[in-house]
Structure 1
Amino acid sequence: MKSHLLTLLFISFLSVSCKGQTANIETIPPTVFAEKISTTPNAQILDVRTPEEYAKQHLDHAVNVNWKGNDFVEKADKYNKTKPVFVYCLSGGRSKQAVAKLQELGFTTIYELQGGILKWNSSEIDVPSDKIIGICPQEYNDLLKSDKKILVDFYAEWCAPCKKMAPYLTKMQTEMADKVVIVRLNADENKTMLKELKIDELPTLILYENKEIKWKHSGYISEEDLKKQLQ
């Protein structure tokens, strides 16, 4: 009886031990992320954004494994689970979900890029490019020429908080036209100004008065709270 009990306890211990194995997961800033990649031979770098986003810009040697694709698990499962894997998206939302799934798949060391490509770009790790994407700084400054307050909203079509805010921002463009000019800029189409203003989170709202920044906010904000800032 005692022997049988010990056997059951041993099997139970093995089961718990196996299930309890956890991966070494670190969310690290761009400079550390870049350093770890440079010191890792044949680094496994997964860009978990859409193919369209990947085509516009991606880190050197990164492979596109779309988190929203139906074949994410199938593609990710082919990589070496005993070697470090580097994961990033645009701002961190999708990469967090991908990291959780990679842990389930058995990867032992996972590095996630804090803030995604947005923070990578604002950190200016890569050599600055002369190519202008979207409006240039001069054109942006021209938008600020008004005797009214100017609210600039940097958003993206894939951004959940941006989608939630879009209806009331569109409504406010008409309702508050006598007090404030609301300019909405698609972040994916205006990367030059994102880098210029060091924007690494979406949505980002910037309120100007006489061309000077009076208020800045990143992340979701309710219509009521936003209106208080615009009074």
Structure 2
Amino acid sequence: MKTFKRFFALVWLLAAHTALVAQTGPNAQNTAKRDLVSFEEFEARLAKAGKNAQILDARLPEEYAQNHLEGATSFSVANEADFSKAIARLDKSKPTFIYSIANGRSGKLAKDLRDNGFKDVTELPGGLSKWIGLGKPVVSTVGPGLSLGDYQASLKSDKLVLVDFGSRYCGSCKRLAPIVDSIKHEQASSVKVINIEAYENKALTKELGVTALPTLILYRGNQVVWKKSGVTPKGEIERVLAEANL
């Protein structure tokens, strides 16, 4: 009987440990991500909601002024008191759609709204970066920027050409910028670096399929030899450049 009790206790402890890991380990992140629907589902829900949709732009007002989804409202709230006043003007019963550059600020806003009783909250997966990169329409006060022809002309060089697509408002882009800048100076003899402000070059980002910021594209003789999104470590970029120079 004692052996059975010890066995039962061991099984119970293992079950409790498994449940704890599920709540605090890698799977917890997966659970948190379940609120993100597919891009196609976002579009379908937005179309179905029609004029009943509440679309909130979680970026800064100046970002909103440059490019935003049609029907969106600028919703960058600095403090808790202002946030309470801002959500009081919204209708909790209406479907609410949120976006930012990617899903950083929009993710926080979505959580805050749900915590305050909003039941139907949908984030734009990939954010405005993906929306613009896929050529979806936006209300804009900036022009299309560089044409594809002008861009291709800028790639002409006897060196490798590293293009950094980013935004001055993007946190990940800011973390990558000093890495790219150091490579620009350290490898000036063999690498040409070009910086592109994505939201001022919407047509180009669509043409090149840049759907996330930051994105690095490496060219050799006008041909793409490497492309990667996100904050890429300096060592990885240096390795790619060394291999491309062989």
- Per mean C-alpha deviation after superposition, the further-off stretch among 183-192 and 42-51 is 183-192
CA deviation after TM superposition for structure 1 residue 72, in Å: 3.4
Q: Secondary structure at the match of 1:181?
A: strand
1:119 aligned partner? 130
Of 133, 144, 167, which aligns to 1:156? 167
Contact 1:92/1:114 (8 A) holds in 2: yes
CA distance in 2, matches of 1:156, 1:73: 30
- Pairs within 5 Å for 1:126-141: 126=137, 132-141=143-152
Contact 1:85/1:109 (8 A) holds in 2: yes
Q: Secondary structure at the match of 1:213?
A: strand
Identical positions, percent: 37
Contact 2:162/2:193 (8 A) holds in 1: yes
1:8 aligned partner? none
CA distance in 1, matches of 2:128, 2:220: 30
- Runs (5+) with no aligned partner, structure 2: 1-33
CA distance in 2, matches of 1:142, 1:68: 43
Contact 1:147/1:210 (8 A) holds in 2: yes
Deviations 1:36-90 (A, max 9, x none): 1222252111111111111122212111111557733421232121322111112
1:13 aligned partner? none
Contact 1:91/1:200 (8 A) holds in 2: no
Which one has the bigger helix percentage?
A: 2
CA deviation after TM superposition for structure 1 residue 92, in Å: 1.7
- Runs (5+) with no aligned partner, structure 1: 1-24
Deviations 1:112-148 (A, max 9, x none): 1111122122333449x9x952211111001110111
Q: Secondary structure at the match of 1:133?
A: coil
Q: Secondary structure at the match of 1:206?
A: strand
Distance 1:97 1:155, change over 3 A: same
CA distance in 2, matches of 1:58, 1:208: 31
CA deviation after TM superposition for structure 1 residue 176, in Å: 0.3
CA distance in 2, matches of 1:110, 1:50: 20
* TM-score of the superposed pair, with normalisation by structure 1: 0.81
Contact 2:58/2:76 (8 A) holds in 1: yes
1:61 aligned partner? 71
Aligned-partner residue type, residue 111 of structure 1: T
